[in-house]
């Protein structure tokens, strides 16, 4: 089968679909991956190694991430999302749509990041199967439980609260997201979620079942496949000799990163991490975002590391400080590490609360409230908690780093075959 995959966003939006591309290629399918990278990272080299066809659409995006962060730091999630769309989606929407149309034309089916409605539009117009991939299940409606941050008022009222959430999303997003869809002669849709942003037949939820205890309450279109993780052989990064020596010199360090988001607040992040580690009196590995602290250098008990696949290093750490991205949340848990989460927005707060509920993290520390003193207290709490350490090791044993991609491939193949059977009858 020829499969086109399209994604948009930062590294956390690309790696899962890169992992899915790798698994589909290994299963005998021919895969083309189209990426719109808002941080202008290229994935051409790894795709070449994995024999995946690669396209970067467009080749370069004009985006001043630090300035954007300063202007949007205090916004709520929907305000922030609208600002991000205005900066790095709508200006490139037509290019993304043209790439979508080409993918649909060339392939038997297409798979897209849950926000890429241009791909769903192109597939609908050419009558090709379209599947979506969701990295966070917080917006998937349930029959009994309320939406995140809503009170639990019983099944009947909780279902009504999901309808309220639909209208909130519609009020914030529907007008602008409808323009391309309606201009192409498509019928109007009632709600942004799920009509516009999810596949009508298969929405893969790329979340480990550990975090999805209520999946039986979802519509059957939403299927949990598990975390989409690149295989060990796909990773070529090796731990530098200097980092290996640092790890061997003392107790397990605390790892600190805000992932791709750290590029938006580089100096603030570094100051926060360095001061917090000093106040907590712990060894630390900090993912550097400042020229003042070059990769593979050391400042006392702090080692600075550049960009790298997180899990390779996390497994040597005592805890991970992070922003609550879906990928980092899974990587930390797969490595048996408790988390200290500093969320910047509601989706990250959702993951922080998931970790806290499972006993894998203390109370979230919102970024707007984060200081070296408050972060150092969270770090000391985790390092001194036997329960958090034991819970993290138990969670690691319950998760599987390779089954997500295998299950995703099986769901895609089965759904595609069923669609073909239905079309023939």
The reply to whether 273 and 174 lie within a common domain is no
Do 218 and 70 share a structural domain? yes
**pLDDT for the residue 385:** 97
pLDDT tens-place string over residues 257-316: 998 788 778 899 999 999 999 999 999 999 999 999 999 999 999 999 998 999 999 999
Please tell me the predicted confidence (pLDDT) of residue 64.
84
Percentage of the chain surpassing pLDDT 90? 87
Does residue 425 surpass a pLDDT of 70?
Answer: no
Q: Are residues 110 and 199 in the same domain?
A: yes
Which structural domain range is residue 124 located in?
Answer: 2-231+402-424
Dihedral, 82, 84, 86, 90 alpha carbons, nearest 10: -110
Average per-residue pLDDT for the chain: 94
Verify that 326 and 246 share a domain, yes or no.
Answer: yes
Number of domains in the chain: 2
CATH at 75 = 3.40.50.2000
Predicted confidence at residue 70, as pLDDT, reads: 72
For 87, the token pair is 């900066």
Q: How many other CB atoms are found less than 10 A from the CB of residue 358?
A: 18
Q: Cα(first)–Cα(last) distance of the chain, in Å?
A: 21
Contact 385, 2 (CB under 8 A): no
Residues 131 and 147 in one domain: yes
Weakest mean pLDDT among 81-85, 246-250, 420-424: 420-424
Angle at CA 266, nearest 5°, toward 261 and 270?
110
pTM of the model: 0.95
pLDDT at 40 (0 to 100)? 92
Element (H, E) at 46: helix 44-49
- What confidence score (pLDDT) does residue 80 get? 86
Is the domain of 415 the same as that of 344? no
* Residues 327 and 311 occupy one common structural domain: yes
The verdict on 11 and 110 lying in the same domain is: yes
pLDDT tens per residue across span 55-86: 999 999 998 877 887 777 778 788 888 999 99
The predicted structure's pLDDT at residue 122: 98
- 198-226 pLDDT, tens digit each: 999 999 999 999 999 999 999 999 999 99
State whether 16 and 163 are in the same domain: yes
Answer yes or no: do 108 and 179 share one domain.
yes
């Amino acid at each position: 089968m020829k499969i086109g995959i399209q994604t948009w966003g930062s590294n956390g939006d690309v790696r899962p679909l890169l992992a899915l591309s790798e698994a589909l290629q290994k299963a005998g399918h021919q895969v083309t991956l189209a990426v719109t990278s808002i941080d202008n990272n290229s994935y051409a080299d790894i795709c070449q190694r994995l024999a995946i066809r690669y396209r970067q659409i467009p080749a370069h995006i004009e985006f001043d991430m630090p300035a954007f962060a300063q202007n949007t730091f205090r916004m709520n999630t929907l305000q922030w999302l609208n600002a991000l769309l205005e900066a790095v989606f709508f200006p490139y929407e037509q290019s993304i749509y043209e790439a979508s149309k080409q993918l649909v034309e060339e392939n038997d089916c297409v798979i897209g990041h849950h926000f890429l409605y241009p791909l769903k539009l192109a597939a609908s117009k050419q009558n090709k199967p379209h599947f979506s991939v969701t990295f966070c299940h917080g917006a998937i409606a349930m029959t009994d439980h309320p939406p995140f941050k809503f009170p639990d008022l019983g099944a009947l009222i909780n279902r009504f609260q999901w309808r309220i959430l639909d209208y909130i999303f519609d009020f914030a997003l529907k007008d602008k997201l409808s323009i391309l869809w309606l201009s192409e002669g498509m019928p109007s849709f009632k709600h942004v979620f799920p009509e516009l942003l999810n596949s009508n037949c298969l929405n893969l939820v790329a979340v480990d079942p550990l975090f999805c205890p209520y999946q039986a309450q979802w519509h059957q279109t939403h299927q949990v496949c598990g975390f989409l993780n690149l295989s060990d052989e796909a990773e070529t990064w090796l731990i530098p000799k200097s980092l290996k020596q640092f790890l061997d010199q003392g107790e397990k360090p605390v790892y600190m990163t805000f992932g791709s988001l750290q590029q938006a607040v580089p100096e603030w992040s570094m100051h926060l991490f360095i001061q917090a580690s000093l106040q907590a009196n712990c060894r630390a590995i900090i993912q550097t975002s400042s020229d003042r602290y070059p990769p593979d250098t050391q400042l006392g008990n702090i080692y600075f590391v550049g960009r790298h696949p997180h899990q390779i290093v996390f497994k040597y750490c005592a805890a991970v400080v992070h922003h609550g991205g879906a990928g980092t949340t899974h990587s930390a848990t797969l490595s048996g590490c408790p988390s200290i989460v500093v969320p910047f927005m509601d989706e990250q707060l959702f993951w922080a609360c998931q970790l806290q509920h499972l006993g894998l993290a203390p109370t979230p520390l919102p970024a707007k409230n984060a200081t070296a003193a408050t972060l150092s207290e969270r770090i000391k709490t985790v390092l001194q908690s036997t329960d958090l350490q034991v819970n993290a090791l138990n969670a690691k044993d319950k998760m599987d780093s390779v089954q997500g991609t295998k299950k995703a491939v099986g769901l895609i193949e089965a759904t595609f075959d069923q669609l073909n059977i239905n079309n023939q009858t």
